[in-house]
Amino acid sequence: MSTVDQLVARTLGITEDRLTADLAYQSVREWDSLGHVALIVALEQEYGVEIGDDLMLELRTLGAVRAFADGLADPAAAAGPTAPAPRTGASDVTPLDGTVHRGLESVTFDQSAITLIDGAEGTLEYRGYSIHDLAEHASFEEVAHLLVHGHLPDAAALEVFAKQLRAARTLPAPVLDLVRSLAHAHPMEALRTCVSALGAFGARRAAGTDESYTEALEAGIELIARIPMIVAAHHAFRSGREPLWPREDAGHAEAFLTVLLGEKPTPAAVRVIDKGFVVHADHGSNASAFTARVAIGCRADMTAALTAAIAAFSGSVHGGAAERVIGLVDEVGTPENAEAHVAALRGRGEPVMGFGHRVYRTEDPRVRHLRASVVELSEERGDRTGLDILDAVATAMRPWQRHGVAANVDLYAGLSYRLLGLPDDLAVALFVVGRAPGWVAQALEQHANNVLIRPLLAYAGPRGLAYPAGAAR
């Protein structure tokens, strides 16, 4: 095996027999986005070169990597990156241009007026408004109205919307009983189950009729109000207490924290949670939003769409990552250990949680606001240990930032919740509370201009097999 093949196998953590001609980025689980960056860094270190973004995009097949290494060893023989050899074996359905976009990478499936993300520049806007302005100046209710209705509300419209949310907070008694019965379950399991149950207590439609846009909008607003109550009531029950319901005029963040903590929250806690909800409110066509669109695109109702989104979001490589990031603080222990810990993880080919994003090539624009919340809470409590550890990990990860592996939204989020005295397993559920308006907006946009989302698969299995004589029936 050549030196470069050994490097590829070692970096990706795969065996020699898997170095086939059609090995490419995203063709195997190990060669994911973080694995690709690890491979680029390993090539730079092995050959003493600097690989820019354009070349990094070309080095996405084993053939291209081999040609690159051969060119460095013998510039006269360099032919540049090459395409992988065609896949051998029987094939049934094949794309017209022969290209398979695994994970639908780089595929634009529709147009949207909700959220702008520029991964190269690190830009995030909700309906044209910068996340930086919204995080610093807007309340969650304003942002939810912006996403769901398409524009920022004036004072009168904001009051109407806030009243709708307040009126919808009360959970149907059977659903509250279900929340109580699931006190033993993980918060995300309880949330997924109870949101689904809400669908049995919504408005009744005539048999065979689909949910109208107006009905979907009304259901969406109810879900924005009720999802936080499910999360908070579940935490109360599993903590051995009855939920303390909020004042009727309490804002969204204050109401949520009142039920969650069983006491009136501090102004600092309300500010942190409100800002966190704003920052998390939407993020374009991520996996969970896409799932909501697929569901409502099939003419499932809004509750079904958000149940599907929650199920997708719970996965460890999507929202579930938020719960795993907080473990960094415990694993590292002290800021002085950060560099060695990062080196050990990368040496084993393991990701550093809280870094890297499928879209952003620079720091996630949401990070600064979540870090600011952690700074505020750390100073209020007189303990910067967790903050200093995460900052030290971020410093140790700087060499990777040049290749797009920068801090993401998960890095500081979990620590802010821990500083509020909340258990780590609530991190993902709190993310969902903030994301609910975005899912509703995405589902409504799909509903308004619907097309059934039905991608294709390129068949790569055998064909025309004869059924064996004497097979068991």
Choosing from 357, 369, 403, 447, the catalytic residue is 357
Residue 57 has pLDDT above 90, yes or no: no
> Are 284 and 293 contacting, i.e. CB atoms less than 8 angstroms apart?
no
Average pLDDT over residues 20-47: 85
pLDDT at 402: 75
Distance CA 473, CA 470 (A): 9
Query: 236: Cβ–Cβ under 8 A, 6 or more apart, which residues?
Result: 242, 243, 244, 259, 260, 262
Q: For residue 89, name the pLDDT band (cuts at 50, 70, 90).
A: very low
Containing 126, the helix (H) or strand (E) segment is: strand 123-126
Q: For residue 222, name the pLDDT band (cuts at 50, 70, 90).
A: very high
Average pLDDT over residues 134-156: 97
Average pLDDT over residues 433-447: 97
Does 106 or 44 have the greater pLDDT score? 44
Tokens 């599993």 identify what position? 238
> Are 328 and 213 contacting, i.e. CB atoms less than 8 angstroms apart?
no
Residue 82 has pLDDT above 50, yes or no: no
pLDDT at 205: 73
Distance CA 112, CA 130 (A): 16
Query: What percentage of the chain has pLDDT greater than the value 90?
Result: 57
Distance CA 43, CA 30 (A): 17
Q: For residue 157, name the pLDDT band (cuts at 50, 70, 90).
A: very high
Does 287 or 348 have the greater pLDDT score? 287
Q: For residue 380, name the pLDDT band (cuts at 50, 70, 90).
A: confident
Query: What percentage of the chain has pLDDT greater than the value 70?
Result: 93
Determine whether 177 is an active site residue: no
Choosing from 282, 301, 410, 424, the catalytic residue is 410
Closest CA to 306 of 225, 364, 384, 237: 225
Residue 369 has pLDDT above 60, yes or no: yes
Distance CA 400, CA 69 (A): 21
Distance CA 243, CA 353 (A): 33
- What is the pLDDT of the chain when averaged over all its residues? 88
Determine whether 357 is an active site residue: yes
SS3 125: strand
pLDDT at 203: 74
